[in-house]
Structure 1
Amino acid sequence: MIQYLSEDISSPVFLRRKVTAWIKRVAANHGKKIGDISYLFCNDEKIITINRQYLHHDYYTDIITFDSSDGQILNGDLFISLDTVASNAKEYNTPVQQELYRVMIHGILHLCGIDDQTDKDQELMTTEENKALQLIDF
């Protein structure tokens, strides 16, 4: 089950059933199934608080993924700062909706085991994000 929640910010507008089906398809392409996934949309202040408290990082980010997967079943909490998503969309000259989908699937790809710590890992992550974005049929 995938939940879409928000805290101290308006929920983004998107077709939830279609996005859920897309996320499941991307997970399946990586040999995984969706278990319990919670997307928690928040603002920059919430994301930096989480980043400081749990990861001991002192910076804003677009997504923080907490992985509680069990084997091939993906479980996790994905915190997404809609403020940073909007800033990134402006910086990269891309529609906010597209940037939101990129960030949403970025978290799922982390749960699938794809990392982005090194330049090589980041290249693979970007490739997989782009492949996933091509699967959106709405």
Structure 2
Amino acid sequence: MINFNYETDFNLDNEEAIAAWLSGVILSENKKEGEISYIFCDDEYLHKINLEYLKHDTLTDVISFDYTMGNEISGDCFISIERVKDNAFDFNVPFDEELKRVLVHGILHYCGYKDKGEVEEILMRSKEDEKIMLFHVERE
């Protein structure tokens, strides 16, 4: 089950479509959907989590806590809406596209993809693009 929680004034206007897409992403990776929670927040909220749990004194767009057991993926995915907006501006992409990228980024981590090295990062970006395309195909 995919849940959306809000710790800021942001709200998804298409929760059902996003949840259905993310469920499809999970299936496309031959995984089973467990309990996945998205928590939308601001920079300050996510910065505190980054300091407390990861000991990183930096701003970030997404932090994923992975509770996957075997083939059933589960986790908590915290997303700073402020970072997503800034990144969308910096990368010259629509906000909705950048939001989809961070939404699917957490799922891909739960599926076992990493992004620490250059090769892993290239694969992660490729997978993000592939899964974002699934959203557009499902809506047509």
TM-score, normalised relative to structure 2: 0.95
Q: Which structure 1 residue ranges, 5 or more long, are not aligned? A: none
For 2:63 and 2:30, the matched residues in 1 are separated by 23
Aligned pairs, how many?
137
Retained in 2: the 8 A contact 1:5–1:11?
A: no
1:23 maps to what in 2? 22
Structure 2 distance, partners of 1:26, 1:53, is 30
Aligned to 1:100: 99
Q: What is the RMSD of the two structures over their aligned residues, measured on CA atoms?
A: 0.9
Contact 1:33-1:74 at 8 Å conserved across structures: yes
The answer (yes or no) to whether the contact 1:5–1:39 under 8 Å persists in 2 is yes
Report the TM-score when normalising by structure 1. Answer: 0.96
Structure 1's consecutive aligned runs of 4 or more residues displaced over 3 angstroms after TM superposition are none
Please give the alpha-carbon distance, in whole angstroms, between the structure 1 residues aligned to 2:80 and 2:14. 19
**1:1-138 matched pairs, under 5 angstroms:** 1-7=1-7, 9-136=8-135, 137-138=138-139
The CA deviation string for residues 15-53 of structure 1, in whole angstroms up to 9 with x for no partner, is 111111111111111111111000000000011100000
Amino acid at match of 1:100: L
1:75-102 residue CA offsets vs partner (Å, 9 max, x unmatched): 1000000000000000000010110011
Structure 2 gap ranges (5+): none
